[in-house]
Amino acid sequence: MSGGSRLRQVLESGAFAVTCEIGPPKGALVNTLREKARLVRDYVHAANVTDCQTAVVHLSSIAAAVHLQSEGVEAVAQMTCRDRNRIAIQSDLLGAYSLGIGNLLCLTGDHQRFGNHPQAKNVFDLDSIQLVDMVRGMQDEGLFQCGEPIRAGAPQFFLGAVANPFADPFEFRVLRLEKKVNAGARFIQTQSVFDLERFRRFMEMVRARGLHHRCYILPGVSPVRSIRAVEYIRDRVPGLTIPDQIVERMRAATDPAREGVEIALELIAGLREIEGVAGVHIMAIAWEQVIPELVQRAGLGSKL
């Protein structure tokens, strides 16, 4: 038995947590993955490793998490419902925990239509909320989903889920977050925040239902380095919008990468002021190199 979560300790201590996202490689070579791990090691409390994000085949999240941890970076393994049924998910989670992974993020998963195997048959045996509930049941009650006891050691993950405050219907987003918290999610990482105003309104509703006392909320921040990246996110990523003001700033910038960092810093500063925000989750898509600078300049300091 292994596992354990420093991320949990950080959040429970009341410190402002920093997590980031690292995409596993589209192949079996892990030197770049390990390089990225070394790059962020002293700047984040934990790093998420995605589970075939956008339904494109990548090295598995659990394997990548093990590589990260061997480089001294605490990993947050991700598990989606798209590719595995409840049997495979439980089995893989036992495996992940046995390999020392202590944090787990549960997601529904992007539809295969977006990926490189659109002909695939999806699974979606469970949805993300059922997945959270199943893992909570394994941990708290020591039961497999079917109700049979786990006799050879139940996992104990620090259990998380995601929220997208920018998808519709807006009013239901908080109810859905509440369902995830009720199901057992202890921390929530959100979709990238570009629209602070909308996120503030979301957090108002979160606080009105007292959810910020029941889970740790880590809004996502994505530094963008070109106007093309901004337009791609605005136009192509479902359930995500970017205010015109940010688009304009990126378009007018002589050094868009610098401007992208400045915008991200402003967003982080804005997010820190919101009651109920427990940390940030930096998703620097294919731009992990910027994470150390971002963390230092945001005054989040190096690792505790």
Partner 1 sequence: MIVAEQKSFKEIVEYLRGKYDLLIVPCMSCTAVCFAGGVQQGEELASALRIHCKMHGDGLNCTVRPVTRQCDPEFIEELTGEVAQADSILSLACGVGVQFLAERYPDKAVIPALNTSFAGGKTAPGIWEERCSLCGNCVLHVTGGICPITRCAKGLLNGPCGGSEQGRCEIDPNLPCAWQLIINRMNGLGRLEELLAFQCPKDWSTGNAGGLRRLVREDLRLK
Task: Catalog residues that contact partner 1 under the rule CB under 8 A.
Answer: 81-82, 86, 108-111, 113-114, 122, 124-130, 133-134, 145, 162-164, 167-169, 172, 175-176, 178-179, 182-183, 191, 238-239
Dihedral angle of Cα 257, 262, 265, 266, to the nearest 10 degrees: -140
Structure tokens, 8: 């949990």
Q: At residue 163, what are phi and psi to the nearest 5 degrees? A: -140, 145
H or E stretch covering 80: strand 75-80
> By C-beta, is 63 or 132 nearer to partner 1?
132
CB of 208 to partner 1, least distance (A): 14
> By C-beta, is 12 or 235 nearer to partner 1?
235
Question: Which of 109, 114, 28, 41 is CA-nearest to residue 73?
Answer: 41
Place of tokens 């002293």: 42
Question: Which of 88, 74, 71 is CA-nearest to residue 9?
Answer: 74
H or E stretch covering 88: helix 86-98
> By C-beta, is 135 or 298 nearer to partner 1?
135
Rounded CA gap, 58 and 26, in Å? 4
Chain mean position to CA 135: 17
CB of 213 to partner 1, least distance (A): 18
The answer to whether the CB of 7 falls within 8 A of the CB of 47 is: no
Question: Which of 93, 41, 92, 95 is CA-nearest to residue 69?
Answer: 41
> By C-beta, is 99 or 167 nearer to partner 1?
167
> By C-beta, is 81 or 196 nearer to partner 1?
81
H or E stretch covering 190: strand 187-192
CB of 242 to partner 1, least distance (A): 13
> By C-beta, is 38 or 113 nearer to partner 1?
113
CB of 297 to partner 1, least distance (A): 29
> By C-beta, is 14 or 238 nearer to partner 1?
238
CB of 94 to partner 1, least distance (A): 18
CB of 122 to partner 1, least distance (A): 7
> By C-beta, is 126 or 224 nearer to partner 1?
126
Chain mean position to CA 207: 21
CB of 119 to partner 1, least distance (A): 14
CB of 113 to partner 1, least distance (A): 4
- C-alpha distances (whole Å) from 118 to each of 51, 57, 61, 86, 125 are 16, 11, 20, 22, 18
